[in-house]
């Protein structure tokens, strides 16, 4: 294990002014996004869409420190035969790979899931390194509802995340550890804070027990927000303050950075929350974005699968990448 290399990559991923593009939707998830814009979910359309993002300047070289890819994309070539990995590297950005096999029903825990994908992972990790990946992602999903989450779901998901992280580091790949507490329910912001604190405390205990070197990791958490169906929504300042409070209680100073998921927040909300946290400042980590939907919804709509709209899609991507880049240093204004 090359700890210096892992640490260097982790810091590069969360460097000020930049953040991560989560373009690692599985084929079934990208189908949902394409359905919304009436685009057929073919390999060619997936390539054309991702290719135009990876060729967008100045977004890629100035604002996107790394791109999380799906297995198909890391092996894919752009229309002119250049590999997608080389497109990303040419922009000075780092290729990464989603390695989990998705959240599956958790036995004996109705309504809860366990993320699968550990079997054979050391071998796959070696191949991904050869294909150019220098970091990876694994997403654990924790839902909030009556009597949920259970300790069984929290413990088993955080244990799997720690197993994955150790496997990554042995292959000289930086693990993004992503314990996502969903914002789908009707719970209030306090419940989100309470569950996220529980999840993060458990995660860091598991990482310690699995001998993961924290300096070579990046945390990808949810922000502390009320459930979407909660009658009581929260102000931007409250989200920022509560998120910082929970993270300060749970995340060791040795972790280089925190790259939030957007989780269903609107584009502007995701930017405003990140900006508000960085305006408060004073915490020991770099805080940035690792957004999927909040970076891609606008470019997807602008493109809508039409070659003549690629410039409009790229303009939308440039805009969102710039806004989130500014938010990563607390310099954004509405």
Write out the catalytic residue numbers: 178, 220
Q: Is the dihedral of CA 256, 262, 268, 272 positive or negative?
A: negative
Of 2 and 264, CB closest to ligand 13P:
264
CA distance 316 to 310: 10
Indicate whether 261 belongs to the interface with ligand 13P (CB under 6 A).
yes
97 lies in the binding site for ligand 13P (CB under 6 A): no
What is d(CA 2, CA 169) in angstroms, rounded to the nearest whole number?
8
Stretch that binds ligand 13P, among 165-173, 184-192, 258-266, 307-315 (CB under 6 A): 258-266
3-state secondary structure string, 78-136?
CCCCCEHHHHHHHCCCEEEEECCCCEEECCCCCCCEEECCCCCHHHHHHHHHHHCCCEE
Q: Which of 291, 303, 317, 332 binds ligand 13P (CB under 6 A)?
A: 291
One of 293, 300, 316, 324 touching ligand 13P (CB under 6 A) = 293
Least separation, in Å, of the C-beta of 141 and ligand 13P? 9
**What gap in Å lies between CA 204 and CA 252, rounded to an integer?**
8
Task: Tell whether residue 320 is a contact of ligand 13P (CB under 6 A).
Answer: no
Using a 10 angstrom Cβ sphere, with 0-12 exposed, 13-18 middle and 19 or more buried, the burial of residue 210 is middle
Contacts of residue 122, Cβ cutoff 8 Å, sequence gap at least 6:
167, 170, 171
User: Can residue 165 be called a binding residue for ligand 13P (CB under 6 A)?
Assistant: no
Identify the sign of the CA torsion 276, 15, 73, 313.
positive
Give 31 or 126: the residue with its C-beta nearer to ligand 13P: 31
Could you say whether residue 325 binds ligand 13P (CB under 6 A)?
A: no
Strands 103-105 and 113-115: antiparallel
Candidates 263, 299, 313, 325; binder of ligand 13P (CB under 6 A) is: 263
Q: Is residue 292 near ligand 13P by the rule CB under 6 A? A: yes
Q: How far is the CB of 263 from ligand 13P (least distance, A)?
A: 4
**Out of 9, 12, 14, 22, the residue judged to bind ligand 13P by CB under 6 A:** 22
Please, which residue, 291 or 332, has the CB nearer to ligand 13P?
A: 291
Cβ 3 to ligand 13P shortest distance, Å: 26
Q: Is 273 in the site for ligand 13P (CB under 6 A)?
A: no
Distance between CA atoms of residues 43 and 166, nearest Å? 33
Pairing of the two strands 113-115 and 19-22 = unpaired
Chain mean position to CA 153: 21
Please give the C-alpha separations between residue 84 and each of 55, 66, 69, 74, 281, in angstroms, as whole numbers.
10, 13, 9, 7, 36
Choose between 99 and 294: whose C-beta lies nearer to ligand 13P.
294
Question: Any contact of residue 50 with ligand 13P (CB under 6 A)?
Answer: no
Complex with ligand 13P: residue 226 or 292, whichever CB lies closer: 292
Query: Count residues contacting ligand 13P (CB under 6 A)?
Result: 10
Least separation, in Å, of the C-beta of 293 and ligand 13P?
3
Q: Which residues contribute to the site for ligand 13P (CB under 6 A)? A: 22, 139, 178, 261-263, 291-294
């Amino acid at each position: 294990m090359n700890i210096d290399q892992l640490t260097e990559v982790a810091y590069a991923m969360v460097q000020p002014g930049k953040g991560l593009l989560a373009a690692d939707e599985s084929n079934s998830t990208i189908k949902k996004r394409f359905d919304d814009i009436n685009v057929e979910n073919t390999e060619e359309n997936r390539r054309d869409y991702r290719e135009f993002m990876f060729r967008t300047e100045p977004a890629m070289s100035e604002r996107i420190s790394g791109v999380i890819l799906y297995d198909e994309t890391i092996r894919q070539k752009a229309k002119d035969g250049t590999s997608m990995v080389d497109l990303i590297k040419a922009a000075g950005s780092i290729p990464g790979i989603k390695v989990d096999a998705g959240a599956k029903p958790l036995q004996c825990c109705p309504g809860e899931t366990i993320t699968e994908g550990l079997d054979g992972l050391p071998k796959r990790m070696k191949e991904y390194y050869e294909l150019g990946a220098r970091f990876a992602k694994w997403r654990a999903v924790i839902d909030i509802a009556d009597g949920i989450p259970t300790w069984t779901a929290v413990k088993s998901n955080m244990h799997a995340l720690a197993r994955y992280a150790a496997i990554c580091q042995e292959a000289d790949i930086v693990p993004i550890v992503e314990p996502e507490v969903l914002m789908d329910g009707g719970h209030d912001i306090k419940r989100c804070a309470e569950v996220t604190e529980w999840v993060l405390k458990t995660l860091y205990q598991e990482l310690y027990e699995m001998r993961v070197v924290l300096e070579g990791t990046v945390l990808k958490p949810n922000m502390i927000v009320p459930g979407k169906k909660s009658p009581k929504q929260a102000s931007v300042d409250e989200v920022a303050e509560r998120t910082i409070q929970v993270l300060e209680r749970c995340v060791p100073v040795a972790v280089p950075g925190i790259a939030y998921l957007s989780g269903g927040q609107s584009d502007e909300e995701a930017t405003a929350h990140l900006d508000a946290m960085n305006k408060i400042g004073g915490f020991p980590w770099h805080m940035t974005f690792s957004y999927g939907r909040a970076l891609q919804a606008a470019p997807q709509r602008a493109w809508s699968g039409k070659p003549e709209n690629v410039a409009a899609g790229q303009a939308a991507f440039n805009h969102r990448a710039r806004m989130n880049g500014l938010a990563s240093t607390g310099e954004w204004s509405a």
